[in-house]
Amino acid sequence: MRKTNISLRFLLLLIIPFLFSSCFEIIEDVTINTNGSGKIALTVNLSQSRTKLKTIMLMDSINGYKIPSETDIRKEFNHTVAILKGVKGLSNVKQSLNFDNFIFKITCDFNDLNDLNKVVETFSEMNHMHVPKGVKHFSFNKNTSTFSRNYEYNISKSYNSVNKKDREAFENAAYVTIYRFQKPISAYKNKKAKLAKNNKAIMLKVSAQELINNTNTIKNKITIQK
């Protein structure tokens, strides 16, 4: 693989050898209990390009990229799972790798949302990503029953340093957040989000280009009925 800015390395590891498929979604699905514990599932969904990807996986390389084998990809996910198992507060860490439909998922339970902040810090430090210290990407105020999702990454500079041809991988990509609660949602700040019919879940879909150019955000503040 050609060299690229290391701040994009973790994302690229998830989508290698899928740089030639610009249609994929990364889905962040979090269930939050009333006491602040819960479960998270992070999914990379490339199913819309599975036919093309199956052909690519048969190649040794393409456009200067070495195409990793299924074994290589499994090794990367095993490494990620091993790191997560070492984060205090996380449990039941599992992975699901579907090479027929190209859907890859990692799930785990957490005791507190601060445990997810530890995960963000761990991978940020490993990949030298510049995230402001002390930022809580996930938080839950039990007194006000308010969940907050912050987003402080600025990847536009790193993105612009990547080869123009490689940037095409993100043209039709999207980041989706889904947050589920035990009680109905009474208010939310990001008006581009969509409530479920039972008012206990909320979804927001933002294109990768919008995140990169800072024209949209996955930030949200959600208040739950007491």
pLDDT in tens, 53-100: 888 788 887 767 677 788 888 888 888 899 899 999 999 999 999 999
More confident residue, 211 or 195: 195
Question: CA-to-CA distance for 54 and 59, rounded, in angstroms?
Answer: 9
The pLDDT value recorded for residue 17 is: 47
Pairwise CA distance, residues 199 & 164, whole Å = 42
Q: 225 or 52: whose pLDDT is higher?
A: 225
Cα distances (angstroms) measured from residue 155 to each of 34, 69, 143, 202, 213? 33, 28, 34, 26, 8
Question: Between 168 and 49, whose confidence is greater?
Answer: 49
110 burial via Cβ count (<10 Å: 0-12, 13-18, 19+) = buried
> Taking 70 as the threshold, does the pLDDT of residue 128 lie above it?
no
Question: What does the pLDDT look like over 136-183, one tens digit per residue?
Answer: 899 999 899 999 999 766 666 666 666 666 666 677 889 999 999 999
Q: What is the structure's pLDDT at 134?
A: 65
The per-residue pLDDT of the chain, averaged, comes to 82
The pLDDT tens digits of the residues spanning 178-199 come to 999 999 999 999 999 999 999 9
In the prediction, which pLDDT does 50 show? 86
State residue 9's pLDDT score: 42
Looking at residue 48, what is its pLDDT? 85
Q: Would you kindly state where each structural domain of the chain is located, as residue ranges?
A: 6-224
User: Bigger pLDDT: 6 or 157?
Assistant: 157
Positive or negative CA dihedral for 213, 150, 113, 130? positive
